Amino acid sequence: MKNFILLLFTLYSLLTNLYCWCSDIVSSSDFILKQTVSARSLATGDSFTGLADDITAISYNPSGLNNLNEKEVGTMYAKGISDICYGFIGIAIPVQNNKCRFGLSAKFLDAGEIEINYIDGITETVKSEQDFLYTFSFATKLFNSSVNFGININYLVNTLAEKYTYYSYSSDIGLLTEIPVNENNLGIGICLQNIRIKFDNDTNDNFPLVTRLGLNYNITIDKKTINLLSDIIYSNEFEKWKINTGLEFWLTEKVAFRTGYRIGYTLDSITFGTGLKLNNLKIDFGLALLRVYTSNFRISFIYSF
In tens, the pLDDT along 75-107 reads 998 876 667 888 999 999 999 787 899 999 999
Domain with 133 in it: 2-304
- Report the CATH number at residue 9: 2.40.160.40
- Entry pTM: 0.83
According to the model, what pLDDT value does residue 166 have?
86
In terms of phi and psi (left: phi > 0; alpha: psi -120 to 50; beta: otherwise), the region of 279 is: left
Average pLDDT over the chain, rounded to an integer: 84
Report the Cα–Cα distance between both ends of the chain, in Å, rounded. 33
- Weakest-pLDDT range from 105-114, 171-180, 235-244: 235-244
Residue 292's pLDDT is 53
Question: How far apart are alpha carbons 75 and 107 in whole angstroms?
Answer: 10
**According to the model, what pLDDT value does residue 87 have?**
93
294 pLDDT above the threshold of 80: no
The predicted structure's pLDDT at residue 96? 79
Instruction: For residue 13, give Cα distances in angstroms to 9, 18, 24.
Output: 6, 9, 19
Q: Is the pLDDT of residue 116 over 60?
A: yes
Phi, then psi, of 139 in degrees rounded to 5: -140, 145
Q: Which phi and psi (to 5°) does residue 176 adopt?
A: -150, 135
Burial of 92 (0-12, 13-18, 19+ CB in 10 A): buried
Q: Count the domains in the chain.
A: 1
| pLDDT, tens only, 212-257 | 999 999 999 988 999 999 999 998 877 788 999 999 999 999 999 9
Higher pLDDT, 21 or 204: 204
298 pLDDT more than 80: yes
The CA distance from 61 to 160, in Å, is: 29
* Contact status, residue 217 vs residue 227, Cβ threshold 8 Å: yes
What per-residue string of b and e applies to 275-285 under the rule 16 or more CB within 10 Å gives b?
bebeeeebbbb
pLDDT(25) > 80: no
